[in-house]
Amino acid sequence: MKSKTYATWLALLAGPLGAHRFYLFGPRDALAWLHLPPTLVGLLGALRMRTLGVDDQLAWLLVPVLGGMISLACLQAIVMGLTPDERWAERWGQPLQPTRWGPVLAVIAALLIGTTVLMGTIAFGGQKYFEYQQMAG
């Protein structure tokens, strides 16, 4: 049995690591494994920025990757949470189990977190790009 509520919350809380895909498709899912490298690269950028400061140009490139992965995971949580229960049951070949508020609350949280991270990532990337242009010019 694949719980829509559990899968949605996994996508929200550990989606950048592919946890929801591991839950749904198992350890042989190639897309689940493809979540790990960009997330780890983004975390490396965040660690570099924390230790070397905001002037580290490599961190400028790596941190937005983490923001993109978090935004992508939130988008996946939204899509899963808004999937009708009938379609979910059909997709996973299980009896219909109506969900209550669990997926809805996860979707609300994903909308809040995902939009905040996405807008922050765009603003950060744009700011660093223009700062770099000033330094180079």
Read off the pLDDT of residues 76-130 as tens digits, 9 standing for 90 and up. Answer: 999 999 999 999 999 999 999 889 999 999 999 999 999 999 999 999 989 988 9
CB 29 within 8 A of CB 7: no
Predicted pLDDT of residue 136: 81
CB 4 within 8 A of CB 83: yes
Q: Is the pTM of this model over 0.75?
A: yes
Q: How far is CA 128 from CA 33, 91, 120, 121, 125, in A?
A: 30, 43, 12, 11, 5
Query: Tokens 């979540």 map to which residue?
Result: 35
User: Read out DSSP for 52-119?
Assistant: H-TT-HHHHHHHHHHHHHHHHHHHHHHHHHTS-HHHHHHHHT-------SHHHHHHHHHHHHHHHHHH
Predicted pLDDT of residue 54: 84
